[in-house]
Amino acid sequence: MMSLKSKNELLEVVRPRYLKASKSEKQKILDEFTSATGYHRKHAIRVLKNKVQAQNRLRGKGRSYRRLYQGEVVQAVVQIWEIYGRICSKRLQPFLPEAIRVLERYQEIELSEETKGLLLKISSASMDRCLRPSRIQTRHGLSTTKPGSLLKNLIPIRTFTEWDEEQPGFLEIDLVAHCGNSVEGQFLCTLTCTDLCTGWTEVIGLLHRSQEAVSEALRRMRQRLPFPLLGIDSDNGGEFINALLYRYCLDEEITFTRSRPYQKNDQAHVEQKNWSVVRHTVGYDRWETEQELALLESIYEDLRLYINFFQPSLKLIAKERIGNKTIKRYDPAKTPYQRMLERKEIPLDAKARLVHLYVQLNPAELRRRIDQKIAQLWKISR
């Protein structure tokens, strides 16, 4: 491997000969030069043609840019990002004007006019650069889904043509196991339910994963929804595929479908919420006791408000396949609350209740309460 000094010396010798050579001779000179230096052929052409540009590159000199977002702007971006649950920049950036209004209303942030102006025009890519030092990685947990053998022939496999995904009320449901590193014995679970149209998400803690516990949790979830429950889609676990839940859906005229076995993408919406809502908030520890369940439920009381009113998400609106590439297009990021207000199917009195609740909520205070309760949960589980 040649040293940088040797490469520069070789460059000074080869350049005059290269500039005077014919096309065929230049090809031979390039072959020798790239073989000796290890340069890419295109880079070798550039450094042989342009002496000043090549020297600047070799010395690390190039075009300089003034950093627009720094200091107070970066601090404000990080503060808002922390309050809004460390969501990705493509979700946070469209929601930033509303986030600033809400936080200023509750005096959670104080911004100068210059800083606010910069924040209102920052791009998602610039936000990513500001946030890069603050990002962390997390781990994954265990799967506890076991196939349910009963009633599989009666509960149809869901196909997208059977569901009206443009109408609120059709939910994917799934269980998250808080089993730590072992699935032995009894442990707490979380029932996650997410609406395909608006992204409205409900999470409910369960003491165990029995048929009775899941059915009771679904009844509680139904009472919390701001729209009628029209359909549920589950995986093939026995906690869902059973006569108790099947009869309940028949009696209440709720469409009940199931995903294909071993096809996680069939429940992509709720699987994503399992991570972004449950795992991202409470992690992967093992919990077993009623005391831990009570604290988990208390966390979820605040978390459902925080997620549905202050967590914008992207929604796929078009997908086009060109050759071997799939191009996806998404709408601007919106919260489930914002999507609810846009829906004509939602009655005005229901929208009025949501608006009344929204103006009373402080996202920073919700975040603080959630974090405090999570710290208590982790403390008692040690």
Q: What is the pLDDT of residues 312-325, one digit of tens each?
A: 999 888 888 888 88
Q: Which residues of the chain have pLDDT under 50?
A: 52, 54, 58, 138-140, 147-150, 159-161
| Separation CA 158–CA 366 (nearest Å) | 36
Q: Angle of helix 72-83 relative to helix 89-105, nearest 10 degrees?
A: 90
201-206: strand order across its sheet: 201-206, 189-195, 170-177, 231-234, 255-258
CA dihedral over 51, 52, 56, 57, signed as positive or negative: negative
Query: What are the two backbone dihedrals, phi and then psi, of residue 232, each rounded to the nearest 5 degrees?
Result: -130, 145
Give me the pLDDT at residue 194, please: 95
The pTM score is: 0.76
- What is the C-alpha to C-alpha distance for residues 50 and 55, in angstroms, rounded to an integer? 9
pLDDT value of residue 142: 55
Q: What's the pLDDT at 56?
A: 53
pLDDT of residue 358: 96
- The 3-state secondary structure of 24-65 reads HHHHHHHHHHHHHHCCCHHHHHHHHHCHHHHHHHHCCCCCCC
List, in order, residues 6 or more apart from 319 with CB less than 8 Å away. 326, 327, 328, 329
Could you tell me which of 94, 119, 126 has the C-alpha nearest to residue 104?
A: 119
Contact partners, residue 185, CB within 8 Å, separation at least 6: 288
**What does the pLDDT read at residue 154?**
60
In angstroms, the CA 108 to CA 148 distance is 49
What pLDDT score was predicted for residue 138? 45
Q: How far, in Å, CA of 256 to CA of 54, rounded? A: 67
150: helix, strand or coil:
coil
pLDDT of residue 63: 55
The 10 Å CB-count burial string (b at 16+, else e) for 17-41 is: ebeeeeeeebeebbeebbeebebee
CA angle 281, 282, 284 (to 5 degrees): 125
Alpha helices in the chain (DSSP H): 4-20, 23-37, 41-49, 51-58, 72-83, 89-105, 113-121, 124-131, 211-224, 243-252, 268-273, 280-282, 290-310, 336-342, 348-358, 363-381
Give the pLDDT confidence score for residue 133 in this predicted structure: 86
Cα–Cα distance between 46 and 382 in angstroms, integer? 61
Closest CA to 168 of 228, 255, 217, 219: 228
**Residue 7 to residues 1, 3, 11, 31: CA-CA distances in angstroms?**
10, 6, 6, 15
What's the pLDDT score for residue 155? 57
